[in-house]
Amino acid sequence: MDRLSTLPRPFRDIELHQSNLESGFNHFPKRKENYLRYQASQKGQLVDYMPVMLDIENVSRCNYHCTMCQVSDWNGYKRADDMSFEDYQALIDSQYGLIEIKLQGMGEPFLGKCYFEMIEYARERYIWVRSITNGSLLHINDNYKRVIDSDVSELHVSIDGATSETYEKIRRGGHFERVEKNCRLLNEYARQMNRLRTRMWVVVQEANFGELEMFPALASEWGFDRLTFSLDLNDWGQDKWREVNDKVDKHKEFDFSQAERLLALGNKHNINVTFWFLDEKYDSTDAKNICPWPFYRAYVSSDMRIVPCCILANPEVYELGDARQLTKEWNSEKMQAFRREHLEGNIPKICQSCYKNSGK
């Protein structure tokens, strides 16, 4: 076994998550029935349960244009209009099986006018809500308070540089000092409200590889308790981005001794350090080791289109149907065909970079 596969992974607050799950099952028996069917199921082109998780993209626009992100290709760093609260509400109401959502996609979610209301609507229904932000807008209109008061279950703040120079080189459009101040505000308020829901998230790449050992101290100084290093760079299912990000990917150069140093520094600064990566790619020759997304989850874009997953995160690359009709589309001919391709080992081109024997 690769020793990296033994490294600690990011995890939910177990007690909070379990309590939320049980409350959801008690209030919504149909959700529990759906979940039990999902747990007992075998992967097939037809499934007898509805999705248990969704990625919901409230906006597909950003105030950053990061070097490793497909948003930087979009005109004005925007792909489509924001999701309306009415569409979001209808989606949540129709998807009775949901236990968890990630409320963020290709963009900065705080740009959405009804972002906090979206969190609150899901949380009132005992749906676990995880979200991701670049932290740049937390000071506007007391957003740092509003997001904690919304009862968000977990909020990741992306910090890809430990110095101003590196951060602003990668996260183009960002200002390191402003984000630092915002993170301090956010974490101080979260601690004051006894809602320790935040996590610093670092996407490891060539430009910040020499700064990794600076992050545990930085996380502590900014008020975080948790820090995750993500070792995988995305290709968004596109040849261009595979070529761009393969050049700066450092996963193969990251070794166990480096991880041990980061864990030790985490202990020194009282920071829970974890690592996120695909330790082994999916295997198209083994039905037990194919991508699980088509069988339990999907990505809903801001313009209400179904996308296979967050690795693609763009209906212009691949679309599986109308998210306003997700209940009907979940077992549509196109969705069944997509599942069948995975089951039979005929992996779609847009998915091949996640498979070890795809030729990519």
Report pLDDT digits (tens) over 140-165.
999 999 999 999 999 999 999 999 99
* Strand intervals (E) in 62-139: 78-80, 100-103, 128-133
Evaluate whether 113 touches 86 at the Cβ level (below 8 Å).
no
Instruction: Please name every residue paired with 307 in a beta bridge, in sequence order, or none if there are none.
Output: 299
User: Of 321, 300, 309, whose CA–CA distance to 350 is shortest?
Assistant: 309
Binned at pLDDT 50, 70 and 90, residue 281 comes out as confident
Q: What is the pTM of this model?
A: 0.96
DSSP annotation of 356 reads T
Q: Which of 67-76, 95-104, 283-292 has the lowest mean pLDDT?
A: 283-292
Tell me, what's the pLDDT at 279? 64
Which residue(s) pair with 298 in the sheet?
A: 54
pLDDT for 2-51, tens place per residue? 788 899 999 999 999 999 999 999 999 999 999 999 999 999 999 999 99
345 with 331: CB under 8 angstroms? no
Backbone angles phi, psi at 298, to 5 degrees: -155, 170
> Is residue 229 a contact partner of residue 212, using CB atoms and an 8 Å limit?
yes
Q: Cβ neighbours of residue 100 under 8 Å, at least 6 residues apart?
A: 52, 53, 127, 128, 129, 130
- 103-115 pLDDT, tens digit per residue, is 999 999 999 999 9
d(CA 150, CA 111): 16
269, 216 contact by CB (below 8 A):
yes
Angstrom distance (rounded) from CA 287 to CA 66: 36
What the block records as the tokens of 325 is 């009709």
Q: How far apart are CA 214 and CA 122, in angstroms?
A: 36
Residue 321 in contact with residue 301, Cβ under 8 Å? no
What's the rounded Cα separation, in Å, for the pair 86 and 36? Answer: 29
